[in-house]
């Protein structure tokens, strides 16, 4: 997964500040950081740890299996969904209890089921963190309690984790659930779990999910998501006494100042001058990037193409590579993305799209030169 670098310039556009010791506002589809405050400071994170616990449980593919709850899980300190020793409960229900009510007992029960043991599951958590690119994170438990010194993360790493998790539909559904009901093993009444995320349930109509956290040493931690129009944002605060207000502020500023801009539009490339390539090149997908109004003039494109081997390609059509170049997209001379360029073969064609932001930006075509086509 490619992660774009945080942009200090974007942070400067969101004036004012937040109360948190560490904070990040990230655009979900690209990973662009729109606001940051001490984004890489390592801190205790409390129960936002459970985002990692939840996504590993979901990716295990065992949500519909029954878990036998151990006495070890039941006696876990702190917030609880009040599991009963030896009860059998679906892993799916445990994940709901984990995310909505922050059940530490649910976290241990999940770990013992999916990882074989709590240490085994913690190993999985750290493997996943490395895979995602969370370079300043170490997990020592599945719940975030202050019982280990080597359990920490950063605002930026937690935004990366939430971005990763939000690609999973099941996670999105659970994270965005306001109330969940499941049967109780020893009582006639059902368990009813209301989400602790007040931004989702009460305070912010654009909120789509998230996870709360608090311990005496970590203080208040919070990760939330919000969607307005075509813009999806992730907000993270760590050690923040006013987190509901700060998340609302960051979201409002992000939605106000940034819009998703279609910089490159899928379809046939019109600006190709080379005789061999003219009207034969296309891209398969749009490139959309969040920009403020003042940043649009800072975007430029550079296209690099393979030198056509006309004789060889005409005599042996199978030798024609599928990808013959790339469009590189820059903002203030910083690379923010690239898109492969495809060559039409035979009767293959791409629908020509209407003009887009592509035609409005500074566009630099390189000379047709030999470049790798397999990157």
* Active-site annotation, residues: 47, 50, 102
CA-based nearest residue to 98, from 85, 109, 87, 112: 109
Specify the DSSP class assigned to residue 202: I
Residue tagged 């005599």 (tokens): 315
Hey, what long-range contacts does 178-186 have (CB within 8 A, 24 or more apart)?
179/100, 180/96, 180/97, 180/100, 182/89, 182/90, 182/93, 182/96, 185/84, 185/87, 185/88, 185/89, 186/84, 186/87
Grouping H, G, I as helix, E, B as strand and the rest as coil, residue 283 is strand
List the alpha helices (DSSP H) in the chain: 8-13, 50-59, 71-74, 91-101, 104-114, 118-132, 155-165, 169-175, 198, 243-257, 310-315
Whether 19 and 87 have beta carbons less than 8 Å apart is answered as no
Do residues 329 and 337 touch, judged by C-beta distance below 8 A?
yes
Q: How far apart are CA 312 and CA 315, in angstroms?
A: 5
What does the alpha-carbon distance between residue 145 and residue 148 come to, in Å, rounded to a whole number?
A: 8
Q: What are phi and psi of 165, to 5 degrees?
A: -65, -35
Instruction: Determine the Cα–Cα distance for residues 79 and 326; give it in Å rounded to an integer.
Output: 51
């Amino acid at each position: 997964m490619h992660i774009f670098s945080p942009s200090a310039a974007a942070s400067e556009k969101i004036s004012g500040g937040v109360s948190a010791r560490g904070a990040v506002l990230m655009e979900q589809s690209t990973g662009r950081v729109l606001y940051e405050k001490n984004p890489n400071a390592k801190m205790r994170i409390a129960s936002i740890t459970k985002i990692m616990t939840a996504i590993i449980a979901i990716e295990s593919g065992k949500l519909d299996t029954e878990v036998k709850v151990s006495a070890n899980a039941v006696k876990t300190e702190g917030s609880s969904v009040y599991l009963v020793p030896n009860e059998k409960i679906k892993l799916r229900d445990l994940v709901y209890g984990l995310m909505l009510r922050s059940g530490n007992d649910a976290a241990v029960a999940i770990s013992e089921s999916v990882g074989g043991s709590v240490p085994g599951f913690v190993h999985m958590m750290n493997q996943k963190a490395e895979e995602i690119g969370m370079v300043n994170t170490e997990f020592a438990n599945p719940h975030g309690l202050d019982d280990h010194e080597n359990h920490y993360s950063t605002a930026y790493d937690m935004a990366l984790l939430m971005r990763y998790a939000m690609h999973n539909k099941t996670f999105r559904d659970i994270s965005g659930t306001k109330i969940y009901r499941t049967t109780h093993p020893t009582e006639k009444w059902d368990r009813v779990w209301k989400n602790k995320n007040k931004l989702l349930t009460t305070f912010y109509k654009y909120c789509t999910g998230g996870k709360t956290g608090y311990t005496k040493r970590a203080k208040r931690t919070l990760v939330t998501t919000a969607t307005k129009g075509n813009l999806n944002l992730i907000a993270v605060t760590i050690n923040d006494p006013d987190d509901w207000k700060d998340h609302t502020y960051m979201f409002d500023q992000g939605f106000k100042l940034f819009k998703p801009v279609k910089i490159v539009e899928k379809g046939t490339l019109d600006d190709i001058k080379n005789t061999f390539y003219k009207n034969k090149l296309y891209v398969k997908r749009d490139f959309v990037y969040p920009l403020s109004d003042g940043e649009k003039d800072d975007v430029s494109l550079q296209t690099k193409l393979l030198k056509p081997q006309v004789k060889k390609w005409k005599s042996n059509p199978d030798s024609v590579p599928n990808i013959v170049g790339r469009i590189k997209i820059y903002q203030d001379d910083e690379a923010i993305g690239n898109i492969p360029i495809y060559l039409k073969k035979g009767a293959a064609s791409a629908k020509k799209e209407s003009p887009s932001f592509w035609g409005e930006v500074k566009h630099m075509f390189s000379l047709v030169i030999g470049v790798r086509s397999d990157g």
